[in-house]
Structure 1
């Protein structure tokens, strides 16, 4: 049974889900189809696209992750008005099976409410980035309550995900760059617009330019 078949098989259980599309650098939502048929058609199309992406990923040689010190260079000194308070990173090899590199930074102002954490991970050494590093990349999500929302998006042409709790003022905004670099913004005591601003401060274009870094020549 191929990976492509497994993903397409999810269509029968996931076609009721909708997704949001963003066509600019900023995170903007568009309406989901209003009918069940429209949502099903959208879901089937999205699953086919994901199957194509995962099949391509499965046929691509794993990459040696870039050092976490390189990832530190794409993190901003300031995010949504908060200065960078601390940073840490690591590069690990899991018993030779796969490797991963990660760098994160915390942004906050001493004595004031609000904190943003930005994390960048190089998942190029994983056998399937979508399956193991960003599961939301495998499906469309569109959930909403009176105080929360959770949905998949497109950010600068890349697959993304966001969720936010208006009551607790907490949330997450992520983007998967070139099916390799996962950028995740987490916010506490902040507005969702501040998380957008923090994501836009990350040098995602540089990450995109390193999509083949450490990958064996074909």
Structure 2
């Protein structure tokens, strides 16, 4: 359980920190998992953050991008690329969507790695839930905390792992879980998946 908590905390730190400092978020996850990194990486170098930004369109299901950020950094001899965009709809609901390319880090998002760390969550209370789930064929970790019991709105975070290489994270406040799932349905996951073996420059 301790190993699962460490891994879960590291992934959670990516979502929590990405808005303020993408590079710091990457360093935190690598520091937390550094001793477990072994084996072969999918690629020698991640794609650039500008490539990742192409999967964060200006409009996504009624949410418009209002700001963007990106970084490519190296930590512990590993390179990481991250891109994020803040989205807002006509009702003022905001959601951040980010993509991290962790393909140059050995085995960090592989099924064997996740199983070995025993990263499975299924907890529910009156305030919300945390669970391990699947969207469009890929594993995801979802957390929702209700702020208004009457309309089902609250704070939602989703970490979605694509092709054992890309970590897509979504964070919304005063949002419904249906709105978050609709964004996932509209995301170009097929395009991102096709980059599984693509080398960066």
Please indicate, yes or no, whether the TM-score normalized by the shorter chain is above 0.5. Answer: yes
Once the two structures are superposed, the pairs formed by residues 60-209 of structure 1 within 5 Å of their partners are: 60-63=40-43, 64-94=45-75, 97-109=77-89, 112-130=91-109, 138-167=118-147, 169-209=154-194
Q: Normalising by structure 2, what TM-score?
A: 0.69
Provide, for residues 131-165 of structure 1, a one-character-per-residue CA deviation record: whole Å limited to 9, x for no partner.
Answer: 9xx97984221001101100001122211111101
Deviation at 1:109?
Answer: 4.5
- Decide whether the 8 Å contact of 1:171 with 1:192 is kept in 2: yes
Deviation at 1:200?
Answer: 2.2
- Decide whether the 8 Å contact of 1:80 with 1:195 is kept in 2: no
- Decide whether the 8 Å contact of 1:84 with 1:105 is kept in 2: yes
Q: Give the direction of change, closer, same or farther, for the CA distance of 1:135–1:187 in structure 2 (3 Å limit).
A: farther
- Decide whether the 8 Å contact of 2:69 with 2:83 is kept in 1: yes
The whole-number CA distance in structure 2 between the counterparts of 1:164 and 1:115 is: 15
- Decide whether the 8 Å contact of 1:90 with 1:103 is kept in 2: yes
Provide, for residues 56-101 of structure 1, a one-character-per-residue CA deviation record: whole Å limited to 9, x for no partner.
Answer: x954335210011110111132234221111111111225x10100
The whole-number CA distance in structure 2 between the counterparts of 1:173 and 1:61 is: 24
Larger of the two Rg values belongs to structure: 1
The whole-number CA distance in structure 2 between the counterparts of 1:203 and 1:138 is: 28
**Partner SS for 1:113:** coil
Number of residue equivalences? 158
Q: Normalising by structure 1, what TM-score?
A: 0.64
Structure 1 ranges of 4+ moved more than 6 A: 134-137
The whole-number CA distance in structure 1 between the counterparts of 2:164 and 2:71 is: 20
For structure 1, which runs of at least 5 residues remain unmatched after alignment? 1-9, 15-56
